[in-house]
Amino acid sequence: MPTIDQLDLSVYNMYAVRTRMFEQFNKQIHLEEAATIPPQIKMVDIYPKLTEMDLLLGVVPVVTPWAYFLPPKRFRRQRRSSFAFSRIAPTLGTFEEQEEEEQKLALVQCRTQKEKEEKEILERCLAQVGKVNEWLNFIIGRIGQFLQG
C-alpha cells in the first residue's frame, strides 16, 4: 500500500496549480471584499424576488385579482387549441353551423314588434361576431407571417 511520500510528484504539482487557480479566481471576483458589503444592499440570490426589490426601491405593490371564480374544467385544453384562438365565440360552432343558425333565424316568423326587434338585434350580433372572427383570422395570419419572416 503506497504512502504519501511514495506518491508521484505530479500530484503535488497539480495541487499547487489548482490552488493557484482558485486564488486567482477569488481575486477576480473580489471574494475577500464581499464581506464589506452593507447588509442593506445585499441580495441573497441572483434572481431577486419581487418583495425584495420592493423593499429595496420602496415600491408598494397593489394586487387586484381579476376573477373570483375558478376557470372551466376544459379551459387549459381549449386555450392551447387553434380553435379557441381563431374564434371569439367558439360555442357557436363551426362556421358552417353558424351560417345554418343565421339561415334558421332569417326564416323565423315574427308576430309582434318586440319579436321583430329581437330578431334584428340577433342578426346584427351574429353579423358582428362574423366580422370580428374575420379580423381575428387576419391578425393571426399576419402574426404567422411575422414569425416566419
- pTM here is 0.41
Domain that holds residue 16: 4-57
Report if residue 23 sits inside a domain. Answer: yes
Average pLDDT, the chain: 77
How far apart CA 42 and CA 40 sit, in angstroms, is 6
Q: For residue 82, which amino acid is it?
A: S
- Residue 98 contacts residue 127 (beta carbons within 8 Å): no
Predicted confidence (pLDDT) per residue in 82-115, tens digit: 444 567 777 787 778 888 888 898 898 989 999 9
Kindly state whether residues 127 and 87 are assigned to the same domain: yes
Alpha helices in 29-94 (DSSP H): 50-57, 75-80, 82-85
My answer on whether 33 and 92 are in the same domain is: no
Question: 31-35, 41-45, 115-119, 126-130: which range is least confident on average?
Answer: 41-45
Residue 121 belongs to a domain: yes
Based on the domain organization, do 97 and 143 belong to the same domain? yes
Task: Name the domain count of the chain.
Answer: 2
For residue 63, pLDDT over 80 is answered with no
Co-location of 87 and 51 in the same domain: no
Q: Cα–Cα distance between 92 and 98 in angstroms, integer?
A: 6
Kindly state the cell numbers that stand for 6: 511514495
